[in-house]
DNA sequence: ATTAGCACTCGGTAACCATGAGTGCTAACA
DNA sequence: TGTTAGCACTCATGGTTACCGAGTGCTAAT
């Protein structure tokens, strides 16, 4: 069953109004709006229909209406008027890239901060997926007789390091030879393929040249099995507390503990394809987020999808504005990062 | 004016009881305690005196008594019965060191987690002060024509890295020479002294050997000016929300935003001398912490103070238990870390 | 010095009521 | 037939009142 234009208009105005005021919307206040020139009685009839169809709800028998999840979903899918960003927002976003920065993480971190400040919601930025970065150089630096640290540098300037124990039987020349072989063979290989490549191609080579091959290989290779967790950066974690829907400490608690549960969020956010995605309320499959919506966008370098930026807010979120902001920022991030790292 | 033994006993029982129950303590319930064999009337008289002296307070005219800040202070300074840790707690703490770990940060991070779980308060662990670590090795790795990354490894296996822009005029041999000179001259120097040492001793040397000395020096040295912020690790940030004193969202908000304000906390915690320190309520000089107490302890390697572990809880905190835990953990941390890193 | 007894205070809870914003329905109207 | 005015009804909200009980301070007896 399709909605009439009038019903669409009313739905849209209800959602807009509720997003602004956080108060249930009544027929009388709707009838006073410029866009709508109908009597409150007519509007009541239409609202009854909209409710029957599941787009709006009452909080109690004689209250005004509030958008349902289905209502928000419809609003986001069909009624959203793409809002232009104002000049000031654009300027603020672009200030992220104002100074010339070389480190990925800094840019990402600053993006998270700015996003949360612009929206007053919580921002989450998933750092670049390190595992597709290509290895530039490996170094092994002995610390003392028992331990050494292995350092991996990628073509994007990202540095990973692992400390491992070094059997006393291994001597300096072995280490040097190993490092040389590794660099020779592994340079340019994406981190995620290191292990594979080593076992298939490099192991044999090492066996030929290195005395304590077995020891050497295993201690070092163990440190290669990196749990390359991309880093999550949060901004405005406490912003949600100022939203009226979180005046209840229990809700706040479950939401915040959820946010601090980083692994969970990581999965929630990573699993998006390119483009903007909106998940509303229970669509997030987590009771702590029943009153929340999550909007995600991805950024990339060239054609490789690198990471995700996201905004977590109440279901009563300024969808239009947030979507515009994310679109704008993700495009900018992509442009800047592509310029910076494409040509290696 | 000194307190009588009886007053001390009553004060102690009041504080103990209130810490347990979070409810104002009345004369009747006190008279029923085993330790106290007085009628409620007598206790009322004593309580009136204690109140006049400022050790306890009423929440309203006819309520039971609650410890004042002065009361907690006296309790912590004089009435604390050093409580033994139970076997289970000890086991849990020692599980931190169960597997052999090489990385400082991991130990620290896990300590924070365990502390918060054991206490149900918020734990804060200030990582080791990297600036006193001694430089083991510097490496400079070019990424492309324009950028390079400098890597600093300390004797403890800590790795710092900085990306910087590399003027096209600098060629590979210059870099190599520079790195050699730097390693030759700076090995063993604490990071905090690097800059000094460079300008006093190494600059001259570099000038003699390197073509593009000025360029080289400044771009690299800029990256040496590291804001070596020791890392703060938090555990149980949301634990405070389960405390009854934080049933009010406004308080929660101000406290959490305060916690996320990392620099502030950093200063609050770093400024302690060795040993255990207890700061109660307004002693923290921060209105968001008026209802909180902060207990800190430091850990070290050998004689060098390295970092701090701390617990943030309500003023109604289990002082005895928390102090015991911190004492125990800081001693263990010191032992383990000393064994691990002393002999470089 | 201690305690029993008593009047008093005050937070908390429940009951009650008035108010007003909002609804659904019916009947009149264009 | 779609729109609107009118009206009875619902319910959250906030204020008033009353009552209970835990706890106090004071006085007088032990």
- Please report the domains of chain A, with CATH numbers, ordered by start residue: 5-79 (1.10.10.10), 87-129+230-341 (3.30.450.40), 131-224 (3.30.390.60)
Question: Which pLDDT band, with edges at 50, 70 and 90, does B233 fall under?
Answer: very high
The answer to whether the Cβ–Cβ distance between A157 and B151 falls below 8 Å is no
Summarize pLDDT for B305-332 with one digit per residue, the tens: 778 999 999 999 999 999 999 999 999 9
Question: In chain C, which nucleotides are within 7 Å of a protein Cβ?
Answer: 2-5, 8-11, 20-26
Asked if residue B132 has pLDDT above 60, the reply is: yes
- The predicted model gives A228-237 an average pLDDT of 85
CA distance B235 to B223: 32
Cβ contact B41 with chain D strand, < 7 A:
yes
Q: Closest to B102 (Cβ–Cβ): which among A164, A249, A344?
A: A164
Res A38: pLDDT: 94
Label residue B118 exposed, middle or buried (CB < 10 Å: 0-12, 13-18, 19+).
Answer: buried
At residue B154, the 3 state secondary structure works out as strand
- Asked whether A97 and A114 are in contact (CB, 8 A), the reply is no
- Output B176 or B206, whichever has higher pLDDT: B176
- The predicted model gives B125-147 an average pLDDT of 87
- The predicted model gives A306-326 an average pLDDT of 95
- The predicted model gives A290-307 an average pLDDT of 88
Asked if residue A165 has pLDDT above 70, the reply is: yes
Q: How far, in Å, is the CA of B66 from the C1' of nucleotide D23?
A: 13
Question: Which pLDDT band, with edges at 50, 70 and 90, does B262 fall under?
Answer: confident
Res A305: pLDDT: 74
Summarize pLDDT for A10-59 with one digit per residue, the tens: 999 999 999 999 999 999 999 999 999 999 999 999 999 999 999 999 99
Summarize pLDDT for B65-84 with one digit per residue, the tens: 999 999 999 999 999 987 77
At residue A301, the 3 state secondary structure works out as strand
Q: A339 in contact with B at a CB cutoff of 8 Å?
A: no
The answer to whether the Cβ–Cβ distance between B256 and A241 falls below 8 Å is yes
What count of other Cβ atoms lies within 10 Å of the Cβ of residue B274?
A: 13
What residue of A is the nearest CA neighbor of B144? A344
- Least-confidence region, from A30-39, B74-83, B146-155, B269-278: B269-278
Q: Where are the alpha helices (DSSP H) in chain B?
A: 5-21, 27-31, 40-52, 69-74, 87-95, 104-119, 172-186, 194-197, 203-209, 213-224, 249-260, 262-270, 319-341
Q: Where are the alpha helices (DSSP H) in A121-271?
A: 172-186, 194-197, 203-209, 213-224, 249-260, 262-270
Cβ contact A248 with chain D strand, < 7 A:
no
| Most confident listed range (B192-201, B273-282, B302-311) | B273-282
Sheet order of strands, B159-165 included: B135-142, B147-154, B159-165
Q: For chain A, give the mean pLDDT.
A: 89
- Output B63 or B1, whichever has higher pLDDT: B63
Asked if residue B1 has pLDDT above 80, the reply is: no
| Residue A109: half-sphere exposure toward Cβ, Cα within 13 Å | 7
- The predicted model gives A169-175 an average pLDDT of 80
Question: Which pair of tokens denotes residue B323?
Answer: 């102090």
- Asked whether B137 and A141 are in contact (CB, 8 A), the reply is yes
CA distance A105 to chain B (A): 11
Q: Which residues of A touch B260 (CB under 8 A)?
A: 237-238
Res A213: pLDDT: 67
Question: Which pLDDT band, with edges at 50, 70 and 90, does B147 fall under?
Answer: confident
The answer to whether the Cβ–Cβ distance between B260 and A237 falls below 8 Å is yes
- The predicted model gives A212-218 an average pLDDT of 67
Summarize pLDDT for B166-192 with one digit per residue, the tens: 777 777 888 888 899 889 999 999 988
- The predicted model gives A166-194 an average pLDDT of 86
| Most confident listed range (A98-107, B24-33, B170-179, B210-219) | B24-33
CA distance A181 to A187: 10
- Least-confidence region, from A138-142, A300-304, B88-92, B215-219: B215-219
The answer to whether the Cβ–Cβ distance between B257 and A238 falls below 8 Å is yes
What count of other Cβ atoms lies within 10 Å of the Cβ of residue B263?
A: 9
Asked if residue A102 has pLDDT above 70, the reply is: no
Q: Please list the residues that pair with B161 across neighbouring strands.
A: B151
Chain A 25-54, CB < 7 Å to strand C? 25-29, 40-41, 44, 47-48, 51
Asked if residue A168 has pLDDT above 90, the reply is: no
- The predicted model gives B248-260 an average pLDDT of 92
Asked if residue A156 has pLDDT above 50, the reply is: yes
Res B344: pLDDT: 46
Summarize pLDDT for A60-73 with one digit per residue, the tens: 999 999 999 999 99
Res B213: pLDDT: 67
Radius of gyration of chain A (CA): 27
- The predicted model gives A252-268 an average pLDDT of 89
Q: Closest to B253 (Cβ–Cβ): which among A144, A238, A344?
A: A238
- Asked whether A197 and A181 are in contact (CB, 8 A), the reply is no
Res A344: pLDDT: 46
Q: Which residues of B touch A157 (CB under 8 A)?
A: 143, 147, 149, 163
Cβ contact B22 with chain D strand, < 7 A:
no
Summarize pLDDT for B13-68 with one digit per residue, the tens: 999 999 999 999 999 999 999 999 999 999 999 999 999 999 999 999 999 999 99
Asked if residue A343 has pLDDT above 60, the reply is: no
Q: For chain B, give the mean pLDDT.
A: 89
Res B70: pLDDT: 98
- Asked whether B268 and B295 are in contact (CB, 8 A), the reply is no
CA distance B19 to B8: 16
Q: What secondary structure does DSSP assign to A304-318, as a single string?
A: EEEEEEEEEEESS--
């Amino acid at each position: 069953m399709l909605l009439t234009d009038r019903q669409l208009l009313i739905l849209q105005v209800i959602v807009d109004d509720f997003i602004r005021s956080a108060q249930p919307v009544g027929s009388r206040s709707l009838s006073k709006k410029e866009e709508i020139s109908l009597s409150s009685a007519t509007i009541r009839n239409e609202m009854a229909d909209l409710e029957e169809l599941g787009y709006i709800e009452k909080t109690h028998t004689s209250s005004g209406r509030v958008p349902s999840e289905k209502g928000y979903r419809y609003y986001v899918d069909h009624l959203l008027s793409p809002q232009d960003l104002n000049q000031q927002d654009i300027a603020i976003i672009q200030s992220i890239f104002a100074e010339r920065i070389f480190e990925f993480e800094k840019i990402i971190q600053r993006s998270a901060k700015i996003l949360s400040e612009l929206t007053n919601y919580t921002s989450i930025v998933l750092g670049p997926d390190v595992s597709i970065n290509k290895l530039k150089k490996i170094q092994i630096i002995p610390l003392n007789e028992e331990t050494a640290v292995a350092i991996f540098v990628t073509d994007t300037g990202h540095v990973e390091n692992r400390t491992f124990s070094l059997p006393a039987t291994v001597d300096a020349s072995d280490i040097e030879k190993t490092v040389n072989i590794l660099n020779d063979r592994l340079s340019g290989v994406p981190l995620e393929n290191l292990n594979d490549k080593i076992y298939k191609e490099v192991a044999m080579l090492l066996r030929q040249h290195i005395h304590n091959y077995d020891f050497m290989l295993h201690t070092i290779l163990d440190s290669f099995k990196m749990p390359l967790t991309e880093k999550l950066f949060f901004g405005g974690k406490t912003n949600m507390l100022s939203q009226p829907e979180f005046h209840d400490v229990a809700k706040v608690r479950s939401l915040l503990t959820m946010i601090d549960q980083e692994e969970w969020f990581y999965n929630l956010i990573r699993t998006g394809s390119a483009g903007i995605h909106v998940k509303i309320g229970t669509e997030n499959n987590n009771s702590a987020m029943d009153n929340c919506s999550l909007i995600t966008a991805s950024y990339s370098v060239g054609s490789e999808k690198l990471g995700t930026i996201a905004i977590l807010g109440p279901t009563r979120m300024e969808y239009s504005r947030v979507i515009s902001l994310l679109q704008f920022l993700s495009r900018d991030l992509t442009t800047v990062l592509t310029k910076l790292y494409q040509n290696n």
